[in-house]
Structure 1
Amino acid sequence: MRIECLAAPQLNELWSLREDTLVDPDDGPDGPVTVQTRWGPVHFENPDPVLRTALERMTLGPVSLSNVLPGFPGLEDLDRPEAHSPEVAALLRGLRRIRHCLVRTLALGGTPLLSVVPLARDTWFVPQPVPGDRPCRLSRFAVLRWAEGGLRMESPLAHHRVQLHRPEMVQLLGLLSGGDRPVGLQLDQEVTEAAIGYLLASRIVVAAEHPAVGADAPRYAEDDDPTLAGWSADDMMVHARSRLGRSDGPFGATFAHLGRMPAEPAVKPLGARTAVPLPRPDLGELRTSDEPFSSVLERRRSLRRYGPAPLSIRQIGELLFRACRIREGADRDGRPYPSMGSVYALELYLVAGPDTELPPGVYHYDPLGHLLEPLDAPAAETAELREAAQATLSADGPPPLLLVITARFRRATQAFSGIAYTSLMKDVGVLMQNLYLVSTAMGLAPCALASGNSDTAARAFGLDWAVESSVGEFVVGTSPPAADLG
C-alpha cells in the first residue's frame, strides 16, 4: 500500500463531544442548556449564543471552533490567556465546565489524524510543545490495541486515551524509541511535532529529562520514579481499568453479554465417571467442639512441612464441606464463602499424592453433591503440577494434597464489565481464607501458593484455557509434630 506524504498547510484542531454526551436545550433555542455526561449533568443557565452554537455543532461531529468564533486561537495560543479576546475567553470558560466531555482531534483540513478522548472528570487537555533538544519515546506503560473499530493508545497513568485515525500515526509510534527525531516518516515536520505534542500531553509519549550527551543513554522520569519502579505495565493497567477514575468503558454489573452467549450453569455438570461420595461432618457437634473463632484466627499460619500420617478421606471431606460446599436448600449466597454478585464461578480440582487416603490422581469437586469426580489426567501433567507446587513451597517433596482453584470466566463476564477478572480474584482470596481457617480449626497444615501454571492445569484437567483456567493454588496435609513447626 502506498502512503501519500501529508503536507501541513491546513493543520488545525477540531473539537467534538464524547459519543455518550447529550446536549439538551431545556426551554427551546433561547433557554438554559443541560449537557448530560457520564459523570452527571452540567447546567448552563444563560449560555451566550457562541457557546450554544459550539455545543450544537460539536454534537454533530468534529468542528473547528474558528468557524464558530472567528479568531479562536490555534494550537500555539490556546492556553495563553493574554492572547484571548473577551469572546474567546468566555467560550473557553464555558468549555472548561465540560472539559471531561471534549474530544480534541488533530487534523489536516477535514482529515483527522488522531483524537484525544478524556477519561476523567477533572482534566483539561493541553497539547505540549515538543522539546527540540530532548528525545521522546513511548511510555513503558502505553498499550496499543484495537477497540470499537479502530486503533487506540492507552496508559494507566493517563486521564485520556488516543484514537489513531491514520496509518501515519501508527508509523510515528513505531519510530518513537527514544532516539533521534523520527526519520523516514511520511509526514511534514510540523505535523509530526504537533502529533508528538498531543501524545506527550496525553502521557502516551514521554520526553527525556535531559538532552542525550555523547554515548550516555537518555534518562526518562518514569524509569527513575520510585513510585512507579515497582509497577509493571500489566499490573497497573489491571488496577486502572478495574476501578473508576481512569476508565470510561462499561463498568459493574451491566450484563452486557446477556443473550449473546449461553449462560454457564451455576454448578458445573459432572462427567461420565462414577463420583466418590465424601464424608460429611456433624455441624452440630462442630459448633460445640470447635475452638473459639478468635483462637483459630490467631493460630492461622502457613505450614510447609507435614506430619507422617496420611491425609484421610474424612479430613478431606470435612475440609471441603466446611469451606466450600453448597448448603442444602441454599439461596444465591448459599456457600460458606461470599462471591461478588453471587456468581460463584470458582471450581476446585484435587491433585492427590500417595500421602493421602485417596488413590493418587486428579479429582474435580462437586460442591452440590459433595462428591469427588475422578478425571483421566495425563500422568506427565499431574506430576508437573505436584513438582511445581513443591518448588514454590521450597519443600523436600510434593505436598500431600494440592487444591487447584479454577474460574469459569463466563460466569463473571456475563454479569460484569470492567471488573469481571478482579471480582474473581477477590473470590479466590475469600475462598483461600476459608480453607486456611477451616484447616487451622481441624489441626491441618495449610499453605496458599503464590502462583501456578495455568497451561499445565488446563491440560491436566481437560479445560479450554479461555473458558476455564486456574487462578489459585492451595496445599494441605496433616500437621507436623510440634518440634517441626519452628
Structure 2
Amino acid sequence: MRSTDEVGTTIRLWSLSEDAMVEDDGENGSVNVVTRWGELSVEHAGAFAIESLRRMELGPVSLQNVVAARKASPVRRLHDLAGLERVLDKVSGSVVHSLGLPDGRRPLLSAVPVVAAPEFHPTAVPASLAIRLSRFAVLRPQGGDLVLEAPRADFRVVLSQPQAVRIASALAAPATIAGLAGDTGIPEPVVADAVAFLVAAGVVLAGDEKDEFAEDTDPELRHWSHHELHFHTHSRTRQSGDADSADSAYRQATETQPPLTRTPPDGKRFPLHRPEPETLAATDPPLTELLETDHECPRFSGTALTAEELGELLFRSARVRGVGPAHPPMPAGHDASQRPYFSIACLYELELYLSIGHCAGLPAGLYHYDPAAHALTQLSPEVADVGTVLDLGKVAAGSLRRPAVMITLTARMERTSWVLGGAAYATTLMHAGALQQTLYLCAKAMGLSAHAVPVDASDTVDRLFGLDWPAEIGVGECVLDSGR
C-alpha cells in the first residue's frame, strides 16, 4: 500500500499482539508461539521467520523492509517471505495488521484479531462504491486511543491518529472514497488504503452497485438489536481486550477478596423461620412431579402469605448453608459460600430485596434479605414505596391485582468480574435464572406460586432500594402469591 506521491504514502506493518510470546525450540527451525488461543507450534519455520517474529514482538515492522535488508538473492528473499507468510497464517489470531505513514509516528490504525484464526486481506475498494460503518459498530476509548469494533468483525480496529478517527467518524453515513477525502481533507490514496483496512477488518461495509448493504437486508440479523448482538459476542469470552484493566482486576482478586455477602443495611431486623430439612425431604413431592406439572401464568389471589411461608421459601432457595474453601477458577486461599441454587465456582453475587405488601407476621415495607443470618432488614416502611414496586410486578404479570410479595434480584458485580472478566455479566444472568428456577420449584413444592416477571424497572428499583449503581445492579424479579 504505497503511492508515488510521498504525501499519499502508507506503509503496511505487522506485529504480534501483546499477549503473544515466541519460543524457539532450537531444533530444525521450529518455533512455538504462546497466545491467548493456546500454544501454536510451527515446524520448519526457518531462521528468517523466527527472527521476524521476534522483531514483531517488539512492535510493528514492515515485512518488505525486513526482507529487503536480508543479504540474499531475489529468489531466496521471495522464498523467505513465502515462508514467513505461512507462519503468520498459522498464528493469525495473534498478528496485528497496522497501517502507517512515512512520518515515523504511531500507526494510523491497527487491526487487532478477536478470533483464533482470522483472515485479513485488504483489497482496494472500487471508487464508485458507497462505504459505511456496520450498523452494529461501536467507537469507544481505550488506553488513549479510540477503538472501533463490531460484533460480526474478526478484528477490532485501534484508531491511533486523528486522520483515522476522522475517516471512521465520517462513515456514519454512506460515502465514497473521493467524498471522504474531500470531507476530511486527507489525501485520497491514504483514505483508500485506510478504507481497505477497515473493510478487511469487518467494521466497515462496502455497498453494491445500487448503494445497498447486505447487512441491512440479512434475515438472520433482523432479530438482533445493536446492544444485544454486541453484548452476546463480548459475553462469550473472559478476555477484556484491555490488558491494564485485566491486570488490575487480577491483582485485586489475589490481594483482596470481595465479601461473600453484602453487609446488612441499617434497619429493623426480622429473623425468619427455619424449617427442618429432614421434614422437608420426607414431605416434599417428587421432583418429576414438580417438573411435569404444567406452568401457569401468575394469578394473584389477594390472599396474604405468612411469615413462616416466606421464611421457609427463602431458607430452601437462597440461604447460606455454609462457608468453605473456594473452587477454581477462584485463586487459592479464598473462601466461598454454599447455597441451594447453582453458581459457577460458588461466586454467589446475587442479593435479594423484598417488597412485601401482604404477609401475615411481617409489616409491609421494602426489605433486604441477609442469606447468612436468614433474616430480613427493613429498608423502608413507606406504603407508597411498596406500592410503586408492586405495581411494576402487577403490570409485568398482566394482572389487575398486586402480588403479595415481589423479590428483586440484584448482583454485586465485583463478585464475578474479578474472576470471569468479560463473561461476568452473562454469567450473572445465568445465575439469576438458576435462582428463579429454584424459587419456582421450592414454591411449587410448598403449594405457593412464584413466577419470574419481565419488569421494566428503569431507575425505580435502584432508587427505592438504594442500590449503588453500577456496583450493584438489578437483574430480575419474581412475584410470589399464596396460591390459595
SS at match of 2:463: helix
Looking at structure 2, the residues matched to 416 and 311 of structure 1 have their Cα atoms a distance apart, in angstroms, of 38
Instruction: State whether residues 378 and 460 of structure 1, in contact with CA within 8 Å, keep that contact through their aligned partners in structure 2.
Output: no
Instruction: State whether residues 389 and 449 of structure 1, in contact with CA within 8 Å, keep that contact through their aligned partners in structure 2.
Output: yes
Tell me the CA shift for residue 265 of structure 1: 1.9
Indicate the larger mover: 11-20 or 93-102.
Answer: 93-102
The answer to whether the aligner puts 1:467 opposite 2:471 as a matched pair is yes
Which whole-Å deviations, capped at 9, do the CAs of 1:245-271 have from their partners, x for residues lacking one? 997567999961526996432122223
Instruction: State whether residues 381 and 457 of structure 1, in contact with CA within 8 Å, keep that contact through their aligned partners in structure 2.
Output: no
Looking at structure 2, the residues matched to 472 and 117 of structure 1 have their Cα atoms a distance apart, in angstroms, of 36
Alpha carbons of 1:327 and 1:211: their partners in 2 closer, same or farther (altered >3 Å)? same
Q: Name the aligned partner's letter for residue 414 of structure 2.
A: R
Tell me the CA shift for residue 18 of structure 1: 1.2
Which whole-Å deviations, capped at 9, do the CAs of 1:255-288 have from their partners, x for residues lacking one? 6152699643212222332311222223222222
Give the corresponding residue for 1:103. 96
The answer to whether the aligner puts 1:91 opposite 2:84 as a matched pair is yes
Alpha carbons of 1:225 and 1:329: their partners in 2 closer, same or farther (altered >3 Å)? closer
Looking at structure 2, the residues matched to 155 and 246 of structure 1 have their Cα atoms a distance apart, in angstroms, of 16
Instruction: State whether residues 150 and 163 of structure 1, in contact with CA within 8 Å, keep that contact through their aligned partners in structure 2.
Output: yes
Indicate the larger mover: 134-143 or 18-27.
Answer: 18-27
Instruction: State whether residues 266 and 344 of structure 1, in contact with CA within 8 Å, keep that contact through their aligned partners in structure 2.
Output: yes
> Which residue of the other structure, out of 109, 116, 122, is the alignment partner of 1:121?
116
Give the corresponding residue for 1:441. 445
Instruction: State whether residues 93 and 117 of structure 2, in contact with CA within 8 Å, keep that contact through their aligned partners in structure 1.
Output: yes
The answer to whether the aligner puts 1:167 opposite 2:162 as a matched pair is yes
Tell me the CA shift for residue 164 of structure 1: 0.6
Consecutive unaligned residues in structure 1, runs of 5 or more: 1-5, 73-83, 213-218, 481-486
Instruction: State whether residues 24 and 34 of structure 1, in contact with CA within 8 Å, keep that contact through their aligned partners in structure 2.
Output: yes
Looking at structure 2, the residues matched to 137 and 25 of structure 1 have their Cα atoms a distance apart, in angstroms, of 43
Instruction: State whether residues 42 and 90 of structure 2, in contact with CA within 8 Å, keep that contact through their aligned partners in structure 1.
Output: no
Looking at structure 2, the residues matched to 267 and 248 of structure 1 have their Cα atoms a distance apart, in angstroms, of 29
Give the corresponding residue for 2:277. 283
Alpha carbons of 1:338 and 1:259: their partners in 2 closer, same or farther (altered >3 Å)? closer
SS at match of 2:184: coil
Looking at structure 2, the residues matched to 327 and 296 of structure 1 have their Cα atoms a distance apart, in angstroms, of 23
Looking at structure 1, the residues matched to 276 and 421 of structure 2 have their Cα atoms a distance apart, in angstroms, of 41
SS at match of 1:227: coil
Instruction: State whether residues 126 and 201 of structure 1, in contact with CA within 8 Å, keep that contact through their aligned partners in structure 2.
Output: yes
Looking at structure 1, the residues matched to 235 and 467 of structure 2 have their Cα atoms a distance apart, in angstroms, of 26
Instruction: State whether residues 7 and 188 of structure 1, in contact with CA within 8 Å, keep that contact through their aligned partners in structure 2.
Output: no
Looking at structure 1, the residues matched to 248 and 420 of structure 2 have their Cα atoms a distance apart, in angstroms, of 6
Q: Name the aligned partner's letter for residue 228 of structure 2.
A: D
Q: Name the aligned partner's letter for residue 421 of structure 2.
A: S
Q: Name the aligned partner's letter for residue 57 of structure 2.
A: T
Tell me the CA shift for residue 92 of structure 1: 2.1
Q: Name the aligned partner's letter for residue 310 of structure 2.
A: I
Looking at structure 2, the residues matched to 412 and 346 of structure 1 have their Cα atoms a distance apart, in angstroms, of 10
Which whole-Å deviations, capped at 9, do the CAs of 1:306-346 have from their partners, x for residues lacking one? 23431111111111111111126777452111212211111
Which whole-Å deviations, capped at 9, do the CAs of 1:153-209 have from their partners, x for residues lacking one? 111211111111111111111211333332321310011111111111111111223
Tell me the CA shift for residue 149 of structure 1: 3.4
SS at match of 2:39: strand
Give the corresponding residue for 2:37. 39
Tell me the CA shift for residue 422 of structure 1: 1.4
SS at match of 1:474: strand
Indicate the larger mover: 258-267 or 420-429.
Answer: 258-267
Looking at structure 2, the residues matched to 382 and 253 of structure 1 have their Cα atoms a distance apart, in angstroms, of 43
Give the corresponding residue for 1:233. 226
Alpha carbons of 1:360 and 1:64: their partners in 2 closer, same or farther (altered >3 Å)? same
Identity %: 35
Alignment RMSD (CA, Å): 2.9
SS at match of 2:152: coil
Instruction: State whether residues 356 and 386 of structure 2, in contact with CA within 8 Å, keep that contact through their aligned partners in structure 1.
Output: no
Looking at structure 1, the residues matched to 354 and 147 of structure 2 have their Cα atoms a distance apart, in angstroms, of 42
Q: Name the aligned partner's letter for residue 334 of structure 1.
A: Q
Consecutive unaligned residues in structure 2, runs of 5 or more: 71-76, 326-335
Q: Name the aligned partner's letter for residue 132 of structure 1.
A: A
Q: Name the aligned partner's letter for residue 151 of structure 1.
A: L
Instruction: State whether residues 253 and 417 of structure 1, in contact with CA within 8 Å, keep that contact through their aligned partners in structure 2.
Output: no
Instruction: State whether residues 348 and 415 of structure 2, in contact with CA within 8 Å, keep that contact through their aligned partners in structure 1.
Output: yes
Give the corresponding residue for 1:81. none
Q: Name the aligned partner's letter for residue 39 of structure 2.
A: P
> Which residue of the other structure, out of 131, 134, 139, is the alignment partner of 2:129?
134
Looking at structure 2, the residues matched to 281 and 253 of structure 1 have their Cα atoms a distance apart, in angstroms, of 45
SS at match of 2:250: coil
